[in-house]
Structure 1
Amino acid sequence: METIISLPKAPKVIKQLTPTRALLEIDKLYPGYGLTIGNALRRVMLSSLPGAAITSVKIKDVSHEFSTLPGIREDMVEIILNLKQIRFIVHGDEPQSATLKVKGEKEATAKDIKTSSQIEVVNLDAQIATLTTKNASLEMELNIEKGIGYVTVESRRRDKQETGVIAIDAIFTPIKMVKFDVEDMRVGEKTNYNRLIFDIETDGTIAPDEALKNAADLLMEHLKMIAKPAEASIIDGEPIEIKKEKTVKKETVKEDFDGAKMKIEDLKLSNRTQNILLINHIKTVANLLRLSKDDLLDMEDLGEKAVKEIKKSLGKLGLTLRQEE
């Protein structure tokens, strides 16, 4: 009977649809893991990746968001909606300020925003307003902050704002769209393994593959905390001791062997064999011991010669690969 959950291949970009949109594929997921991992990563990408956005604006001669300005086609509501679409890369964690001053008959775009060296405007062609007369002018001060997800004005607890400052709902997330599809694929004799395909579109402040990696890193940090031993609980001020069940040691499993915690690099394998293992997320000897010879041969570019090399290195430590049932 199978007792080990095999690990998938590393993600790879299979098609770059646009500079900000790509298809990424994860192969050889254990049956059922495509939906489990796909849904988790999608939710994290949409809700938890950091970004930067305009959180408030002060426009000359405008006291509230329902005002209008002479010589400007858009009203304040439209202008604020346009400001929400401007994407920034902010270096540092402190709030930053920027200004916009335009005069005459022209289109005001994000390219007209004057920023400090701490701020980069990504979508320079984003439209802000249309000035329709030679005497028209538009001046504004922008406050730009970093954050996570979508944050409404009501949820931001602030001191009373300066007169004329209009707070804006902030779209911090750098993700515009994420969807995924799960397909069955053959691994050895089994045909029910999963292939996970992500379709990711960002706002240009981060690449699609980087967004996937950051989401995975964030999930891993949470799972590492969950994997830690449970601490004593407290009920009514009194600590409750959590008893741990004793485990029975098995001679066939070398869990107590310190060498099983060694890194793959410590096996002194050839660079080619070592790189193939690392690409497939086999980073420790403990990971390697969970695999059989057939599992290794399923890895792309890893053949009999490399398996023989791995067995020899493990043999020097008194270890062996998992035996097929």
Structure 2
Amino acid sequence: MLVISKKGPGDVKASDFNKNGAVEIINPEAHIATLDKGAQFEMEVTVEKDRGFRSTEMVTDKGKEIGRIDIDAAFSPISRVKIDIENTRVGQMTNFDKLLLEVESDGSILPYDALIAASNILIDHYKAFAFNEETPNELTQMPEKEVPMMDEEVADEVLEGDEEIDPKTKIEDAKFSPRTTNALTNVGVKTVAGLKRLSDLKLSEIKGLGQKGIDEIKERLG
């Protein structure tokens, strides 16, 4: 809260506000009013910190105090920004653009510092998209899908797969994956009995089977 109490005649300026360590008067010569002889001027000003612009329509407690006058508030220290783009030449290339920025402030911050601060704010906003596997972001999380119920026929096949396989069963009927089935039949393995006689070393030598296929065989045969 800043307070002015002054008698005329004379001008009322921003420098007439009472001293307040939390508020700095940027322009002490700012003219507020002109007083005639014998006039008494008193004013209390509420100073707030915010961003952007706030109109009187946005004030929620308007009219609660007698004599209170709400005014539009501009919190940004930047009063004007002009942007221009010109053609420029770099070496032999003439199709480049040059960006020209003209920034004016109210004196509370240098235009260059304001540009740096605005750039950092923009960078911080874009950091929300600059994530990786080590720092997962909620944007990468896919919605959970509902797992469909398994019908009875498929369930029966799964249960049958958990039962012990008859050694006489042909490899084609042993319900291995197509890759594993092809790898075994290509080397002449015809039945589950013949497959069981193969050692881990022999299995590892079968082309196209791989460790994944070996693990599948062990899991299937128990």
Which residue number in structure 1 is paired with residue 140 of structure 2? 231
Q: How many residues align?
A: 140
CA–CA separation in structure 1 for the residues paired with 2:69 and 2:145: 51
What are the Cα deviations for residues 74-93 of structure 1, in whole angstroms up to 9, with x where unaligned? xxxxxxxxxxxxxxxxxxxx
CA RMSD, 1 decimal: 2.2
Query: Which amino acid is the alignment partner of residue 107 of structure 1?
Result: D
Work out which of the residue numbers 14, 18, 29 in structure 2 matches 1:114. Answer: 18
Contact (CA 8 Å) 2:85, 2:99: kept in 1 or not?
Answer: yes
User: Is the helix fraction higher in 1 or 2?
Assistant: 2
CA–CA separation in structure 2 for the residues paired with 1:240 and 1:220: 34
Contact (CA 8 Å) 2:103, 2:111: kept in 1 or not?
Answer: yes
The question of 1:197 aligning with 2:93 is answered no
Percent of counterpart pairs with the same letter?
37
CA–CA separation in structure 2 for the residues paired with 1:223 and 1:166: 40
Query: Which amino acid is the alignment partner of residue 140 of structure 2?
Result: E
Partner SS state of residue 120, structure 1: coil
Q: Residues 275-314 of structure 1: matches in 2 within 5 Å?
A: none
Contact (CA 8 Å) 1:100, 1:139: kept in 2 or not?
Answer: yes
CA–CA separation in structure 2 for the residues paired with 1:100 and 1:129: 11
Which residue number in structure 2 is paired with residue 175 of structure 1? 78
TM-score, scaled relative to structure 1: 0.40
Work out which of the residue numbers 59, 76, 81 in structure 2 matches 1:156. Answer: 59
Which residue number in structure 1 is paired with residue 116 of structure 2? 213
CA–CA separation in structure 1 for the residues paired with 2:55 and 2:10: 32
Structure 1 stretch displaced more, 137-146 or 148-157 = 148-157
How many angstroms does 1:232 deviate by? Answer: 2.5
What are the Cα deviations for residues 256-309 of structure 1, in whole angstroms up to 9, with x where unaligned? xxxxxxxxxxxxxxxxxxxxxxxxxxxxxxxxxxxxxxxxxxxxxxxxxxxxxx
CA–CA separation in structure 1 for the residues paired with 2:145 and 2:20: 55
How many angstroms does 1:240 deviate by? Answer: 6.1
How many angstroms does 1:130 deviate by? Answer: 0.8
* Larger RCO (CA under 8 A, 6+ residues apart): 1
In the TM superposition, structure 1's runs of 4+ consecutive aligned residues that sit over 4 Å from their partners are: none
Contact (CA 8 Å) 1:232, 1:240: kept in 2 or not?
Answer: no
CA–CA separation in structure 2 for the residues paired with 1:156 and 1:217: 30
The question of 1:144 aligning with 2:47 is answered yes
What are the Cα deviations for residues 145-203 of structure 1, in whole angstroms up to 9, with x where unaligned? 01111101221333873333222221112111111211222234322222211111111
CA–CA separation in structure 2 for the residues paired with 1:240 and 1:195: 50
What are the Cα deviations for residues 128-156 of structure 1, in whole angstroms up to 9, with x where unaligned? 11102x21010111110011111012213
The question of 1:105 aligning with 2:9 is answered yes
In structure 2, relative to structure 1, the CA distance for the partners of 1:159 and 1:201 (3 Å cut) is: closer
In structure 2, relative to structure 1, the CA distance for the partners of 1:126 and 1:191 (3 Å cut) is: same
Partner SS state of residue 114, structure 2: helix
Query: Which amino acid is the alignment partner of residue 121 of structure 1?
Result: I
In structure 2, relative to structure 1, the CA distance for the partners of 1:195 and 1:110 (3 Å cut) is: same
Query: Which amino acid is the alignment partner of residue 140 of structure 1?
Result: M
TM-score, scaled relative to structure 2: 0.57
Which residue number in structure 2 is paired with residue 3 of structure 1? none
User: Is the strand fraction higher in 1 or 2?
Assistant: 1
Contact (CA 8 Å) 2:3, 2:43: kept in 1 or not?
Answer: yes
In structure 2, relative to structure 1, the CA distance for the partners of 1:187 and 1:141 (3 Å cut) is: same
Partner SS state of residue 119, structure 1: coil
Partner SS state of residue 210, structure 1: helix
Partner SS state of residue 126, structure 2: helix
Q: Which runs of 5+ in 2 are unaligned?
A: 132-136, 147-222
